[in-house]
Amino acid sequence: MLKLSGEAFAGGEAQGIDPAVVGHLADSIAEAVREGVQVAVVVGGGNMFRGATLSEGGMDRARADYMGMLGTVINCLALQDFLEKRGVETRVQTAITMQQVAEPFLPRRAIRHLEKGRVVIFGAGLGTPYFSTDTCAAQRALEIGAEALLKGTQVDGVYDSDPRKNPDAVRFDHLDYAEVLVRDLAVMDQTAISLCRENDLPIVVFDLMGEGNILRAVRGEKIGTLVSP
């Protein structure tokens, strides 16, 4: 289960979709699929709308969260297009039904698609406000029986402080869930981490845009930071 943040889709911009970035992501996923790895993807929506940010501006939080969830579906369709252009079969499944553009989320059907070599892209998060797409990625990973949750980020792992602000920040090779929670390390939100912890789902945090990184992560090579029991 690969979690792609919406932020990554925007490249250097605050909003929107950078075709070069999505193309690069699709190239890497296509390579993994050709190696025979079953790949499911949860796509975030931070490049479109974040419910929490909109609600700070005065919007009702739940409605703003639905906007955020709809934004993730736009990213899903972009990724689907770039993958299909590379000859990879895909299905988008959404937690909010919109049958003209995607299948509804049906876990057993998702597993069947994966077995057939199709990439399944999950959109609209969990379909409920007040959750994140990281939590969705953890839940979907568990429900479809994924071996690991691969969390692609802008940095090459988990650090004890922000490496962009502190040149002495130290990177962890391995962490257990409790350390992440207690030290409030910037891996994923606490709901997502707790879900992984309760179910022993390993998380790999790695630099999404590094050349060959997605392939290394899905092959199970040592990369970034591993969070596991």
194 is known to lie in a ligand binding site:
no
87 is known to lie in a ligand binding site:
no
CA–CA separation, 112 and 91 (whole Å): 11
- Please state the closest distance from residue 116 (CB atom) to ligand UDP, in A: 27
- Please state the closest distance from residue 91 (CB atom) to ligand UDP, in A: 19
133 is known to lie in a ligand binding site:
yes
- Please state the closest distance from residue 125 (CB atom) to ligand UDP, in A: 2
Q: Which residue of the chain is nearest ligand UDP when measured via CB? A: 44
Binding residues for ligand UDP, per CB under 6 A?
5-7, 44-46, 50-52, 65, 68-69, 72, 125-126, 128-129, 131-134, 136
Nearer to ligand UDP, 129 or 202 (CB): 129
Instruction: Look up residue 132 and give its amino acid.
Output: S
Nearer to ligand UDP, 95 or 201 (CB): 95
CA–CA separation, 113 and 142 (whole Å): 16
The DSSP bridge pattern shows strands 119-123 and 40-43 to be parallel
Nearer to ligand UDP, 5 or 90 (CB): 5
224 is known to lie in a ligand binding site:
no
Instruction: Take residue 147 and report the two structure tokens written for it.
Output: 């071996």
Orientation angle between helical segments 133-144 and 190-198, nearest 10 degrees: 20
Nearer to ligand UDP, 46 or 157 (CB): 46
- Please state the closest distance from residue 51 (CB atom) to ligand UDP, in A: 3
- Please state the closest distance from residue 130 (CB atom) to ligand UDP, in A: 6
Sign of CA dihedral 154, 41, 225, 214: negative
4 is known to lie in a ligand binding site:
yes
Contact 129, 62 (CB under 8 A): yes
Sign of CA dihedral 28, 7, 222, 203: negative
CA–CA separation, 180 and 119 (whole Å): 30
Instruction: Take residue 222 and report the two structure tokens written for it.
Output: 């040592």
- Known binding residues for ATP are 3-6, 46, 50, 153-154, 159, 162
- Which residues does the annotation place in the binding site for UMP? 45, 65, 126-133
